[in-house]
Structure 1
Amino acid sequence: MWEQIAAHEQLWWWLGALSVVSFVGALLIIPVLVTRMRADYFVSDQPAAGSWRAEHPAVRWTLLVLKNVLGFVLLLAGMAMIFLPGQGLLTMFIGLSLLNFPGKRRIEIALLRNPIVWRPICWIRRKADRPMLQLPDDVRH
């Protein structure tokens, strides 16, 4: 086994660097995204007042694509953080919340049932003096 590790030393350095970058990136971006999330995000289907969804179609589509790309990158980083240092489940949750796909809300709420995801979100929102997230009645903690 040590021979395999020694034979792929450069790969291990790249994985280590990716781990550090994803860990630091998650530490910087996750609090911003969690605090910007509306408290009624999980109980309301209506976009927030002044939402980018009311912008010109070109702006709206550009922002939609960028939001989904960021969500996909965070989802992949969260999957990597399951094995590398970092908050994998929380990063995956934030990535999923940025993506658009059918059944997304059901998956998000299932992830929120996990205390490993719920507690850090509550802690971040408390530190930022933001109201706690409202959840459907069947998911209250």
Structure 2
Amino acid sequence: MSLFEALTAQESAAYWLALVSVLSFFGTLVIIPWVVVRIPADYFAGHKRPAKKRTYERSPVAMVCVALVKNVFGALLVMLGLIMLVTPGQGVLTMIVGILIMNFPGKFALERWLVSRGPTLALINAIRQRRGRPPLRLEREIGS
């Protein structure tokens, strides 16, 4: 069975896949820049994540709810990023933003490693520059 025959047999699934691809492409065009400009410029400058006060830490129920929503949304972005590696969209950048949103052990080291690779930092800083934000600083740039 050829690919065309398989798609014809599953026409409804093919339409849904195309719709999800188009929506995720345009959704990431809005969401990614919005998240990227909100990252503090010195977020990756140290060995540990900068401390941040959260107003919801007083209530354990609120903490669990926020963590659940963040992790589900982050995992969704990572999955969409994986799909966008083979369909139109900003796959790698979408996966990075999904990882930035989620909470898991070793996350900060993974974030720093991903952001420091190849053209990713240049793309992030180009988005930040267009929005009038300073570029992200990595640890190796502190002494410079």
Q: Same fold (TM over 0.5)?
A: yes
Tell me which residue corresponds to 2:23.
Answer: 21
Greater displacement, 38-47 / 66-75: 38-47
Q: Which amino acid aligns with 1:38?
A: P
Separation in 1, partners of 2:60, 2:50: 18
Secondary structure, aligned partner of 2:119: helix
Q: Under a length normalisation based on structure 1, what TM-score does the superposition of the two structures give?
A: 0.86
3-state SS, counterpart of residue 72 of structure 2: helix
* Alignment of 1:94 onto 2:97: yes
Match of 2:113 in 1: 110
Q: Please state if 1:125 is matched with 2:128.
A: yes
**Structure 1 residues 132 and 103, CA gap change in structure 2 (3 angstroms):** same
Asked if 1:79 is matched to 2:82, the reply is yes
Greater shift, 92-101 or 109-118, is seen at 109-118
1:134 to 128, 133, 137: 137
TM-score using structure 2 length: 0.84
Q: Which runs of 5+ in 1 are unaligned?
A: none
User: How far has the Cα of 1:51 moved from its partner?
Assistant: 3.6
Structure 2 unmatched ranges of 5 or more: none
What is the percentage of aligned positions where both structures have the same residue? 36
Check if 1:45 corresponds to 2:67.
no
